[in-house]
Structure 1
Amino acid sequence: MPITRRLALTAALAALPGGALAATQSFDAFLDGVRRDARAAGVSQATLQRALSGLRPIDRVLELDRRQPEFTQTWEQYRDARLSQARIEGGRRAYVENRATLEAVQDRFKVTPRVVVAIWGLETNYGGFTGNFNVIQSLATLAWDGRRSAYFRNELIAALKILDGGHVSADRMRGSWAGAMGHPQFMPSNFDRLAVDLDGDGRRDIWDSRADALGSIANYLARSGWREDQLWGREVALPAGFDPDEARRDNTKPLREWARRGVRRSDGAPLPALDLPTAILLPGGASGQAFAIYPNFNVIRRYNPSNFYALAVGLLSDRVA
């Protein structure tokens, strides 16, 4: 980046809401520190040479980080944007095309395949767009900037370890501006803990191996407590006079208790008389859709801690299979 442009960027960022640019050292000095930390973490000198040589901060990444849009979508807007007919049909094709892999994933991880496909669909449109930023460069930029430097420095070291392990080349390690990678959009630290080598080639390749990518999503859910014998939840119809203050994720009762109170399936049929811990959600308010959510709903939230996201995953999973 030309020095005049870099100075202009620094001045512009300092004027943005949220505080001045907090990087207190040159980018080169910062990279020297990263090299020391990475070597101490076991990353080879050859990997550091390949990954960090000639690296410069990305002004667009800093701009995106500082100017993340603050907007509120209603449940209906969020739902309709993510449950388009095109996404549903794409999910059905993806399910059929990857059936053998999904069956292998289910055998190993005991996770419902259609939920794996739904997360894949929401994260990257079934691999259609996995991000085009150089992950090392993006993470280095964010770690150098002082707003969340400790978090992104740890992610940068984790990303360098992935390169050092030979799982992907530096050129192919691309993702979102914030460092989320591959089909599952894992951060590097999640890759380290949760990515798997399902195709058995010795690499955990969530960029180009669908087996590894889908297996990694399933492993994430399995490690978070997924129960294969349970649903995520279902849409329900509430009885007249239902108190909307009872519709909270932390207000769980046995499903049979909600049924006793008059909650029914959305088509009016009775709910099963089970002891399954259940809560009621009203994502669009008292006059909108109502959902009974089960423990697997909270497992989906471990992937993305948003009720809207988990509901969209659940509903998409119901439609793709």
Structure 2
Amino acid sequence: MRLPLLTSLFCLCLAAPALTAPCGNTAAGFTAWKKDFARDARRAGVKTPGLQALQTAQYASRTIAADRNQKSFRYTLEKFMEIRGSTTIIAQGRKRKARNAGFYAALERKYGVPAGVLIAIHGMETAFGHFMGDSQIVPAITTLAYDCRRSDFFLPHAIGALKLVDQGAITPATRGAKHGELGHTQFLPGNALQYGVDWGGDGRVDFYDMADALASTANYLRKKGWKAGKGYQPGEPNYAVLKQWNAASVYQQSLAIMGAGIDR
């Protein structure tokens, strides 16, 4: 499940393709939608492997159920941090930073993002890589592209997932989160293409490799406006960048608190 060398080689149009098939809120129209979407995907540069993955994708009912039931983002900050295990993330995060201090220092020199932020993201997204998802990426992301609720947002990521299949980066069976995110820090496929970093220098970007995933996360934040040496607490210059990672205010607040706790 690896991505080809260098993000400069990636070509992904992030404008959502104009579809003739209507979106839908049940499985009933998914097959017809896929046929029309295949034509748009082909025009966007998706090749035979990606088109075949689209053809075999089944409507992901579990993904829709998860999308309709995101209760944690409606909790208070205290409850959200409790559910996400903030105390454990901070404690384990400090140990991870100490064990691999050179790696995190190198990331901060290159991208300006301190270790605490990256480690807190890693902890919140996948419990430091212990659980990276149990849903097939292609069915999940194409179902969300078809679903009326946020179709425009997910359409470019569906194209991205099919291009990842073309490149051999993922297969139709590769698993990630229920919304189609992949790897240690749960990148959406379109973002994986744009911001992926080959930190290990092996000629591949692998979001299931911790170093590549965290470097890619740091690169994403930098490209979204992170300013080296500036703070990331509420009211400080980099706090607004946290919204680019996750739009939920409780997530942003938790990330700032956990990051500071790890970097202390």
Same fold (TM over 0.5): yes
Within a 5 Å distance, the mapping from 1:271-286 to structure 2 comes to none
Instruction: Look up the match of 2:123.
Output: 121
SS of the equivalent of 1:126 reads coil
Relative to structure 1, the CA distance from residue 104 to residue 157 in structure 2 (aligned partners, 3 Å threshold; closer, same or farther) is same
When the two chains are superposed, the root-mean-square deviation of aligned CA atoms in Å is 2.6
Relative to structure 1, the CA distance from residue 33 to residue 99 in structure 2 (aligned partners, 3 Å threshold; closer, same or farther) is farther
Instruction: Look up the match of 1:205.
Output: 206
Q: Please state if 1:224 is matched with 2:227.
A: no
Map Cα deviations across residues 201-251 of structure 1 (whole Å, 9 max, x no partner).
Answer: 232211x21111000110111112222222223xxxxxxxxxxxxxxxxxx
Instruction: Look up the match of 1:294.
Output: 236
Q: How high is the TM-score relative to the length of structure 2?
A: 0.80
Of 300-309 and 218-227, the range deviating more from structure 2: 300-309
SS of the equivalent of 1:148 reads helix
Task: Give the number of the structure whose alpha-carbon radius of gyration is greater.
Answer: 1
Give yes or no for contact 2:142–2:155 (8 Å, CA) kept in 1.
Answer: yes
Q: Mind listing any 5+ residue stretches in structure 2 that lack a counterpart? A: 1-22
Relative to structure 1, the CA distance from residue 307 to residue 138 in structure 2 (aligned partners, 3 Å threshold; closer, same or farther) is closer
Q: Mind listing any 5+ residue stretches in structure 1 that lack a counterpart? A: 1-19, 234-291
> 2: distance between equivalents of 1:196 and 1:171?
23
Give identity over the alignment, percent.
Answer: 34
> 1: distance between equivalents of 2:158 and 2:117?
30
Q: Please state if 1:313 is matched with 2:255.
A: yes
Relative to structure 1, the CA distance from residue 56 to residue 80 in structure 2 (aligned partners, 3 Å threshold; closer, same or farther) is closer
Within a 5 Å distance, the mapping from 1:211-290 to structure 2 comes to 211-233=211-233
The alpha carbon displacement at 1:27 in A equals 3.1
Relative to structure 1, the CA distance from residue 176 to residue 46 in structure 2 (aligned partners, 3 Å threshold; closer, same or farther) is closer
Q: Which amino acid aligns with 2:193?
A: D
> 2: distance between equivalents of 1:130 and 1:41?
28
Of 78-87 and 299-308, the range deviating more from structure 2: 78-87
> 2: distance between equivalents of 1:120 and 1:32?
37
Give yes or no for contact 1:168–1:205 (8 Å, CA) kept in 2.
Answer: no
Relative to structure 1, the CA distance from residue 111 to residue 148 in structure 2 (aligned partners, 3 Å threshold; closer, same or farther) is closer
Instruction: Look up the match of 1:196.
Output: 197
Q: How high is the TM-score relative to the length of structure 1?
A: 0.67
Relative to structure 1, the CA distance from residue 107 to residue 137 in structure 2 (aligned partners, 3 Å threshold; closer, same or farther) is same
Q: Which amino acid aligns with 1:60?
A: R
Structure having greater relative contact order (Cα 8 Å, sep ≥ 6): 2
Choose which of 77, 81, 84 in structure 1 pairs with 2:83.
Answer: 81
Q: Which amino acid aligns with 1:316?
A: M
Give yes or no for contact 1:175–1:185 (8 Å, CA) kept in 2.
Answer: yes
Relative to structure 1, the CA distance from residue 165 to residue 107 in structure 2 (aligned partners, 3 Å threshold; closer, same or farther) is farther
Q: Which amino acid aligns with 1:165?
A: Q
Relative to structure 1, the CA distance from residue 311 to residue 26 in structure 2 (aligned partners, 3 Å threshold; closer, same or farther) is closer
Within a 5 Å distance, the mapping from 1:55-94 to structure 2 comes to 55-69=57-71, 72-82=74-84, 84-94=86-96
Of 61-70 and 297-306, the range deviating more from structure 2: 61-70
> 2: distance between equivalents of 1:158 and 1:71?
26
Map Cα deviations across residues 157-200 of structure 1 (whole Å, 9 max, x no partner).
Answer: 1111122233333333x222122222122212222222222122
Instruction: Look up the match of 1:303.
Output: 245
> 1: distance between equivalents of 2:68 and 2:251?
23
The alpha carbon displacement at 1:142 in A equals 2.4
The alpha carbon displacement at 1:134 in A equals 0.5
> 1: distance between equivalents of 2:132 and 2:244?
20
> 1: distance between equivalents of 2:217 and 2:76?
27
Instruction: Look up the match of 2:39.
Output: 36
Choose which of 53, 56, 63 in structure 2 pairs with 1:54.
Answer: 56
